[in-house]
């Protein structure tokens, strides 16, 4: 079959100019020479066809019979492969959420059980998001040391083990990067945002698990059972594909082509005709590329946006249990220095605390819906700005002595929007960077988020003990600044495909790439333009 296709591709191009009124005309013999015209074949090239089935010609460049990974992803579309990848990526996302959510539950428990100082509690929660590894390695690493944390005998041991968990927990952003590369443009924003479902499920599952386990079995069982999604992910991780775009950029076209064929086979879709090529790329991405003339401002602003997102999101998670226990500003802001509580004073979480914690955790589902509605209508930048702004507006009423129900509602709304802003950043960041620097851009942005998550316990747990007003002011001001930073981003990526190269003429839109034959190719790219 392939040989037949190859031979057909070598035949002259036949064009019918006119057919006449009837095929039985008396002038048939005279007109026949005028009906068919064989154009000159000055630039005809033989092409290397793959063993995949053909697809409509619009997915290949009509002048050179080549295609890029982006063309293949668009041709193959969304199907069985993407559904499987969604679930597997979601499991890593769910596990990351559970490991983060557990901090707000574990902190007050160990504070009381081991009589820890507030500074020691903050240090314990801050070491969790300290470093990142490769995706598969990070899952195995996190699973092992997460399980070992359940057997920690003293504070020093659990501090080291949770730091090791934090060393490996950074695989979730990499799974989203890989996931985004295999999504067609029209599905990308929606699918990445739907990953928030798994994050929300992870946080809700962790709270429900705590409600069931903590009163009877204790925190050690909670730590052990929280690794269940990681075990499931590790079992199925062999199925994960490599990045086809990265393979092409590093010269491994055969491996990339095999990955694309596998996806096409699972989806029951055809592969594009022609030869797989890489976009014009000078060299592999380096840290200096993030600060090139057209990416420098974007990188700096994104780093602060990711920092503010994590700082505020994880801060609110920790603040929730602290405010519930202290009663907000009603509980301790009016105390004199002599009346300030001792740092060893502690309160176990009760059933009401767990119930309110569950309610605020459920807020991430409506936050996802709002972001899904806004991100393609308002654009990525305005959506992030809106989320930061509403978060700040929900923090301001907490300065007053609001009741427990009002405080729960305000935290519910604030968490919904800060979670939505986080997801909008996850959509925007892979879209704004080209392939060579995409993982680097997302990785460094995630690193800044980890810095924010590392610092926030000292505000939400230590500073809060001295002044509720001051702690709330830090979060409010940080998000207001992040809202301005979101508006100041120089590039809006709504409706734009993933970039293949740093070159502006390459990968700007999903229709693909600049013709490889220069301006002359442009005049020949449309069949309708030929005479």
* Domain residue limits, the chain: 63-279, 288-327+349-494
pLDDT of residue 29: 45
CATH homologous superfamily for 288-327+349-494? MFS general substrate transporter like domains (1.20.1250.20)
Q: Where are the alpha helices (DSSP H) in 150-243?
A: 155-168, 171-181, 185-213, 219-225, 228-236
Q: What is the tens place of the pLDDT at every residue in 485-529?
A: 999 999 888 776 666 555 443 333 333 333 333 333 333 333 333
First to last CA, the chain: 33
Copy the structure tokens of residue 101.
């959510």
Give 459's DSSP letter. Answer: I
Whether residue 374 is predicted with pLDDT greater than 80 in this model: the reply is yes
Section 99-109 average pLDDT: 80
Contacts of residue 384, Cβ cutoff 8 Å, sequence gap at least 6: 305, 421, 424, 425, 428, 482, 483, 486
Give the DSSP H or E segment for 215: none
Torsion sign (Cα): 484, 488, 493, 498: negative
276 pairs with which residues across the strands? 67
pLDDT band at 127; cut points 50, 70, 90: low
| Paired sense of beta strands 15-16 and 36-37, if any | antiparallel
Q: Are 155 and 408 in contact (CB under 8 A)?
A: no
Rounded Cα distance between 38 and 455, Å, is 72
pLDDT of residue 488: 93
Q: Where are the alpha helices (DSSP H) in 362-403?
A: 364-375, 380-395
- Most confident listed range (292-301, 404-413, 470-479, 505-514): 470-479
Q: What is the mean pLDDT of the chain?
A: 74
pLDDT of residue 231: 85
The overall longest dimension of the chain from CA atoms, in Å, is: 115
67 pairs with which residues across the strands? 276
Using DSSP, state whether 2 is helix, strand or coil: helix
pLDDT band at 305; cut points 50, 70, 90: very high
Q: Range with the lowest mean pLDDT among 14-28, 343-357, 371-385, 415-429? A: 14-28
CATH homologous superfamily for 63-279? MFS general substrate transporter like domains (1.20.1250.20)
Torsion sign (Cα): 397, 403, 409, 411: positive
Cα separation values, 486 from 428, 434, 474, 481, Å = 11, 20, 18, 9
- Dihedral angle computed from the Cα positions of residues 234, 236, 239 and 241, in that order, rounded to the nearest 10 degrees: -40
Q: Assess whether the region 63-279 and the region 288-327+349-494 belong to the same CATH fold.
A: yes
**pTM (2 d.p.):** 0.66
Q: What is the tens place of the pLDDT at every residue in 138-197?
A: 778 888 888 888 898 888 888 888 888 877 776 666 777 778 788 887 777 778 777 778
Rounded Cα distance between 207 and 213, Å, is 10
User: Which bin fits 513, alpha (ψ -120 to 50), beta or left (φ > 0)?
Assistant: beta
Q: Are 14 and 38 in contact (CB under 8 A)?
A: yes
pLDDT of residue 385: 94
pLDDT of residue 43: 44
Q: Which of 149, 220, 452, 202 is closest to 318 using CA atoms? A: 452
Using DSSP, state whether 295 is helix, strand or coil: coil
Whether residue 201 is predicted with pLDDT greater than 70 in this model: the reply is yes
Contacts of residue 411, Cβ cutoff 8 Å, sequence gap at least 6: 316, 319, 320, 323, 360, 363, 394
pLDDT band at 309; cut points 50, 70, 90: very high
Section 363-381 average pLDDT: 87
Rounded Cα distance between 122 and 193, Å, is 31
């Amino acid at each position: 079959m392939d040989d037949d296709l190859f031979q057909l591709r070598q035949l002259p191009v036949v064009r019918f100019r006119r057919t006449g009124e009837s095929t039985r005309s008396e002038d048939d013999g005279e007109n026949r020479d005028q009906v068919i015209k064989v154009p000159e074949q000055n630039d005809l090239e033989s092409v290397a066809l793959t063993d995949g089935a053909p697809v409509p010609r619009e997915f290949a460049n009509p002048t050179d019979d080549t295609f890029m990974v982006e063309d293949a992803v668009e041709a193959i579309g969304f199907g069985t492969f993407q559904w499987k990848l969604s679930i597997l990526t979601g499991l890593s996302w769910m596990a990351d959420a559970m490991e983060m959510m557990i901090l707000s539950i574990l902190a007050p428990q160990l504070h009381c059980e081991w009589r820890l100082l507030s500074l020691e509690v903050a240090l314990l929660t801050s070491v969790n998001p300290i470093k990142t590894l490769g995706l598969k390695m990070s899952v195995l690493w996190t699973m092992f040391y997460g399980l070992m944390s359940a057997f920690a005998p003293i504070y020093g041991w659990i501090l080291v083990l949770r730091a090791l968990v934090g060393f490996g927990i950074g695989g979730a952003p990499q799974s989203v990067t890989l996931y985004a590369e295999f999504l067609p443009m029209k599905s990308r924003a929606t699918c990445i945002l739907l990953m928030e479902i798994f994050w929300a499920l992870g946080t809700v599952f962790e709270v429900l698990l705590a409600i069931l386990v903590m009163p009877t079995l204790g925190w050690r069982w909670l730590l052990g059972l929280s690794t269940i999604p990681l075990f499931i992910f590790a079992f199925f991780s062999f199925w994960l594909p490599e990045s086809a775009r990265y393979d092409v950029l590093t010269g491994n076209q055969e491996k990339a082509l095999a990955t694309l064929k596998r996806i096409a086979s699972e989806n029951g879709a055809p592969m594009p005709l022609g030869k797989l090529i890489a976009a014009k790329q000078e060299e592999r991405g380096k840290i200096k590329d993030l600060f090139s003339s057209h990416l420098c401002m974007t990188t700096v602003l994104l780093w602060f946006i990711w920092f503010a997102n994590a700082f505020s999101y994880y801060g609110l998670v920790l603040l929730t249990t602290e405010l519930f226990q202290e009663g907000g500003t009603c509980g301790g802001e009016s105390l004199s220095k002599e009346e300030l509580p001792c740092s060893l004073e502690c309160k176990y979480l009760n059933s009401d605390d767990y119930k309110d914690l569950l309610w605020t955790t459920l807020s991430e589902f409506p936050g996802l819906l709002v972001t899904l509605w806004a991100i393609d209508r308002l654009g990525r930048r305005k959506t992030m700005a809106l989320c930061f702004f509403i978060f700040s507006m929900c923090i301001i009423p907490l300065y007053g002595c609001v009741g427990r129900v009002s405080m729960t509602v305000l935290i519910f709304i604030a968490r919904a929007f800060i979670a939505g802003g986080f997801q909008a950043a996850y959509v925007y960041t892979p879209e704004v960077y080209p392939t060579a620097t995409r993982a680097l851009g997302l990785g460094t942005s995630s690193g800044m988020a980890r810095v924010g998550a590392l610092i926030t316990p000292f505000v939400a747990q230590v500073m809060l003990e001295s002044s509720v007003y001051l702690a709330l002011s830090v979060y409010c001001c940080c998000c207001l600044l992040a809202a301005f930073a979101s508006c100041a981003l120089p590039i809006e990526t709504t409706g734009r495909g993933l970039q293949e190269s740093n070159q502006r003429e390459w990968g700007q839109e999903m229709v693909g790439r600049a013709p490889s034959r220069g301006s002359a190719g442009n005049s020949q790219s449309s069949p309708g333009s030929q005479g």
